[in-house]
Structure 1
Amino acid sequence: MPGAGRLAFDRVDDGATANGAEQAARQLIGHDIDALIGPFGSDAVVGALHLYVAAGIPVFLPAATIDLGALPEGVFRLCPNDRAIAQAILDRIRERGFQTIRVLSDGSPHYLALKSKVERLLATAAVSTDDIVPAQHPMATVFLGRLEASRDWLRGFRQGGEAEPVLFSDDAADPSVTRELTSMGDVEALAVPDSRDLEGARPFAAHHRNLFGEEPGTYFHEVIAAVQLVANLALRRAAQSARSVPPCFDGVPTVFGPARFVGGENERATLVWKNLGAASTGVVFSQEARS
């Protein structure tokens, strides 16, 4: 990776909370960092992004999908945003012909906000939720939540005898969600592409398998793309002997192809639907994410 040798990493755990992220931000800013890859959690972004922006530190968001409206200057999101996720959920519901939907969340601030966004889209599309038609059993359930919460909810849902199809949001796109279930049923999760879908990511995924003996996790490729952009920034700063090089990345090679950002959003961000209920995870629907 060109420029990677110039990078040194300082890692801080923000606990994926707003308060933890604020404390981590003050610590990292005090360390005089040149760029940030993170925060990873959407709730953490709320607590810390303004601090990095005020300090003039370029921020690369690999996994935080929260809808922030217009991203501040110097902030670059690699993953899709919640507007794209909500639209992809609506499109999938339409594709599968579901007329009544139950929408649930894990109760976290981010996923409560996404739940409201999905419900508003469903209302404009004339898709009923079980809150609107309580006597009618829903044709499917949408659960929006973090990985552990999604796994626990699905286990209780299936053990309680509920058999309708389930659509999960992106954090649940992991085989562990259904691993312990003897009868998992129809379960799909919205996800970002893996190395099978991204030719440029395959060498990195192979290296990950050699090091750790397993496939990379969700948002691995977004992290690699962020590192590629930071390495490019380091090279340009070294060439000009300055820290004030503008963070402009159009055309920079990444695992997604040449970078292209519009309003800080990655124009190459992509969403896929993965069937977690099948014997092997596979792409069943793909949609290019657009903000």
Structure 2
Amino acid sequence: MPFCIGISAIFESSRTVHARTFLMAVNHFINHHDTHGLTFRFEDDDASYDGGRRAAQRLLDQGAQVIVGHFSSDAAMGALPLYRAVGVPVLLPAATKQDLLGMEPHAFRLCPSDTGLVTLLARRIRDDIPGARLLVAHDSTDHGESLARALISTLAGSNVRLTLTLEQADAVVYCGRLNNSIRYVNTLLNRRRDLRIYLTDDALSSWFIQNTPPSDTLRIVGLATVDPSQALYETYYLESLAAMQIAATLIHCQDRLDTLRTTLFTTVLGDVRFCDGENRYARAALWKIRNQRFVPSTSA
């Protein structure tokens, strides 16, 4: 019987270009790797809690033995308890919410968590603009709210002063999904062009560059790449492809959870080893835009 890999995310590129990136990574794996003995099942999770639950149940009904996906933290929150109940492992390429893994011993994250992202971001804000008045804004998603809470907690007791009004701010951090980040930045730059602007990982996309005006003061925190040339890939592409590579190695494993907890995997992302569900080699980096491309500003 073929080994079944369940694949789930939001698949409508009209709603987010990350859908196209994810499917490109999956298709690359299917077309360029040994898939003998593998079968694939796809379910759209709507990037929502309820959508995640529906997709998870459908994948389990189709016999999925390992899951790659649930990009959004919202969908992952809904889906993970269903997988836990039957012991199916989940490889999360992009869901950063810090407490996702707390009760989920079967979930394994390839990207940095909220803590990894905001630790670097907070340090850079403290170092670059000590004593600054900072506005922390976010969208209504679980992803955005979680990152904003983590950042505020990390900055507590520092010399950075939080403000609730744009007029009083020296810098702004916006935590949210890609299209929301684009809308926020475009509105912000129409009102204030003198501010330092920091965005979170979902905005690390060429779609952002294409749909916002240039800004020398803008930085985006996201995944650090092993090789600078990998910055040419869309964010989440390497994480998704690496998740597919790891999932395929489980085909002959008797205890898949133990294999995921104890094995050093060699992937397109570099070495991956999980400790308490986190990729111990995942690192955050701050990126800037130069000549219509992302280039590293610094890394953790």
* TM-score higher than 0.5: yes
Residue correspondence of structure 1 range 68-107 to structure 2 within 5 A: 68=99, 70=102, 72-98=104-130, 99-107=132-140
Partner of 1:21: 52
Shift of 1:196: 4.0
Matched, 1:263 2:294: no
% same residue: 27
Residues 277 and 50 (structure 1), Cα distance of their counterparts in 2 relative to 1, 3 Å cut: same
Q: How far did 1:269 drift?
A: 0.7
1:214-236 alpha-carbon deviations (Å, 9 max, x no partner) = x53211111111111111111x3
CA change 1:180–1:124 in 2 (3 A) is same
Spell out, residue by residue over 1:103-162, the C-alpha distance to the aligned partner (whole angstroms, 9 max, x if none): 10012233112212211221222310113xx69732210000100000011111112234
Structure 1 partner of 2:222: 191
Indicate whether 1:232 and 2:265 are aligned: no
Distance 2:111 2:55 in 1: 22
Q: Quote the Cα distance in structure 2 between the aligned partners of 1:84 and 1:12.
A: 29
Name which of 264, 267, 270 aligns with 1:254.
Answer: 267
Code of the residue aligned with 2:242 in structure 1: it is: A
Name the aligned partner's letter for residue 88 of structure 1: L
- Structure 2 unpaired stretches of 5+: 1-31
Q: What is the alpha-carbon distance in structure 2 between the residues aligned to residue 88 and residue 259 of structure 1?
A: 21
**Residues of 1 paired with 2:126 and 2:34: CA distance?**
45
Moved beyond 6 Å, runs of 4+: none
Inter-CA distance 183–264: structure 2 relative to 1 (3 Å threshold)? closer
Which 10-residue stretch deviates more, 140-149 or 88-97? 88-97
More displaced 10-residue stretch of structure 1: 147-156 or 103-112: 103-112
Cα RMSD, aligned residues only: 2.4
- Could you tell me which residue of structure 1 aligns to residue 141 of structure 2? 108
Contact residue 225 and residue 269 of structure 2 kept, 8 A: no
User: What does residue 161 of structure 1 align with?
Assistant: 192
Change (3 A) 1:260 1:155: same
Which runs of 5 or more residues in structure 1 are unaligned?
A: 206-214
What's 2:157 paired with? 124
Q: State the match for 2:68 in structure 1.
A: 37
Larger strand proportion, structure 1 or 2?
2
Residue type of the partner of 2:94?
A: A
1:276, CA displacement in angstroms? 2.5
Aligned counterparts, 1:118-157, within 5 A: 118-131=151-164, 137-157=168-188
The answer as to whether partners of 2:182 and 2:211 remain within 8 angstroms in 1 is no
Q: Separation in 1 of the partners of 2:135 and 2:171? A: 6
Deviates more, 1:154-163 or 1:164-173: 154-163
Contact 1:36 1:59 in 2 (8 A): yes
* Paired amino acid for 2:106: G
SS in 1 for 2:44: coil
Deviations 1:189-224 (A, max 9, x none): 0121357437xxx6xx9xxxxxxxxx5321111111
Change (3 A) 1:124 1:7: farther
- Residue 24 of structure 1, CA deviation: 0.7
SS at match of 2:174: strand
